[in-house]
Structure 1
């Protein structure tokens, strides 16, 4: 375990039980979501490569534009 994670857990131990549970739920949900993404990418590496190639082709064909954060 990293020092940062140990420090976070030590601090969490000082919180009331309900807050500990709420934060634990958030962490577990995040870990599950990461696993789902990892599983999705592992099942479809060819699809991801195809999408990347399509995006590059569109960019090279001049069909993309630079993102303007002010327009979001």
Structure 2
């Protein structure tokens, strides 16, 4: 029983911390960071695909692999 009560106490403390974070607006910051990182990754992936287009003809394929 003692352990259970201790865990319950810590859980309540965590809830209080979460409430204070919401008031400060730190959770919003965390969400904004996630969105910006995903957008940056999308931009990077599109830039990489435009920089190195896949070879289309068979001749182009052999030249492409000889160059790299």
More helix by share: 2
Higher Rg: 2
- Per the normalisation by structure 1, the TM-score is 0.42
- Per the normalisation by structure 2, the TM-score is 0.45
